[in-house]
């Protein structure tokens, strides 16, 4: 497949051509996504939960992100790769945001960065874009600041909050984002936003009327056991397949049927007796 460019995001929206977007945090998963038709990979700070077993994303560091983005870039040469800016790496100042965005690009080779926030983050977005780095926005449910949103719940559910969300989108569009992740909002709010904003809206729990659908790979493949949000559809049951495979290995180990000669080195070696 042909690797998407930043310009293709806008082109796809303008042509009404949908695309899809998933997470990866390691080389093997990235290479599997690269073999698929999915065009975009996010190395999300959701790796805090999925890879590191944390309760949320706030503890994830720049070093964690870089550690995981590098192997994904190696594993997916035909897929557009986004590096997620972790909590605390861009909120302090424009200078901090630029320094960390530049570090992420320099040390991993990813194609762009993503950060959470609307009007309040517009200056940070503009600063990074001015440094020559494409920025993807993320509004609606923003997990890094979910505590101040009252937890993991649907955003934009009132007329005022829906309008505020669309104004957030317009403001970060002006600040220079080339696309916007919109998480956990009523479908009609996402539809209205996609009409009022020129750049593509990448929906996760945002209904069908957006330009692209985003899901966490481990969620959509049924690998992650702990929690399934309403917006996640499991397109495969990989966790069950993995547990079944592990149990088959365990059973054949106990009954001795593994390893058969096929899986053993069968050369005869005449071993001399041990010296006294
Ligand atoms: O970290 C992540 O996986 C994300 C997606 C849910 C968009 O930010
Ligand atoms: Na994220």
Ligand 1 atom 2: residue of nearest CA: 44
Residue with tokens 């930043």: 6
* pTM for the structure as a whole: 0.96
- What the block records as the tokens of 254 is 């106990």
Q: What percent of the chain has pLDDT over 90?
A: 96
- Domains identified in the chain and CATH numbers: 6-236 (3.20.20.60)
Residues 72-114 have pLDDT tens digits of: 999 999 999 999 999 999 999 999 999 999 999 999 999 999 9
Residues 224-244 have pLDDT tens digits of: 876 788 999 999 999 999 999
- What the block records as the tokens of 136 is 């993807």
Residue with tokens 């590191």: 52
Q: What is the pLDDT of residue 226?
A: 67
- Comparing 225 with 154, the larger pLDDT belongs to 154
User: Pocket of ligand 1, candidates 43, 141, 204, 212: which has the most ligand atoms within 8 Å of its Cβ, to mutate?
Assistant: 204
Q: What is the pLDDT of residue 137?
A: 98
Among 178, 143, 184, CA closest to 162 = 184
**DSSP 8-state secondary structure symbol assigned to residue 274:** P
This model of the complex carries an ipTM of 0.99
CA of residue 142 to ligand 1 center, whole Å: 9
**Residue 150 scores a pLDDT above 90:** no
CA of residue 87 to ligand 2 center, whole Å: 9
């Amino acid at each position: 497949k042909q690797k998407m460019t930043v310009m293709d995001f806008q082109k796809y929206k303008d042509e009404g051509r949908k695309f899809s977007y998933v997470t990866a945090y390691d080389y093997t998963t990235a290479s599997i996504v690269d073999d698929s038709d999915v065009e975009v990979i996010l190395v999300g700070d959701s790796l805090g939960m999925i890879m590191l077993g944390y309760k949320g994303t706030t503890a994830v560091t720049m070093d964690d992100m870089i550690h995981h983005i590098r192997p994904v870039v190696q594993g997916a040469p035909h897929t557009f790769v986004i590096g997620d800016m972790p909590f605390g790496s861009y909120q302090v100042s424009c200078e901090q945001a630029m320094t960390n965005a530049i570090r992420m690009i320099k040390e991993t080779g990813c194609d762009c960065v993503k950060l959470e926030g609307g009007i309040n983050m517009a200056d940070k977005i503009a600063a990074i874009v001015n440094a020559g780095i494409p920025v993807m926005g993320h509004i609606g449910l923003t997990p890094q600041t979910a505590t101040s949103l009252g937890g993991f719940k649907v955003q934009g559910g009132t007329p005022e909050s829906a309008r505020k969300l669309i104004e957030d989108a317009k403001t970060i569009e002006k600040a220079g984002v080339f696309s916007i992740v919109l998480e956990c909002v009523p479908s009609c709010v996402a539809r209205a936003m996609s009409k009022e904003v020129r750049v593509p809206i990448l929906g996760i729990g945002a209904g069908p009327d957006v330009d692209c659908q985003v899901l966490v790979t481990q969620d959509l493949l049924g690998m992650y056991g702990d929690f399934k949000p309403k917006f996640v559809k499991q397109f495969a049951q990989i966790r069950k397949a993995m547990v079944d495979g592990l149990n088959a290995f365990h059973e054949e180990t106990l009954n001795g049927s593994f390893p058969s000669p096929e899986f053993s080195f069968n050369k005869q070696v005449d071993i001399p007796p041990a010296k006294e």
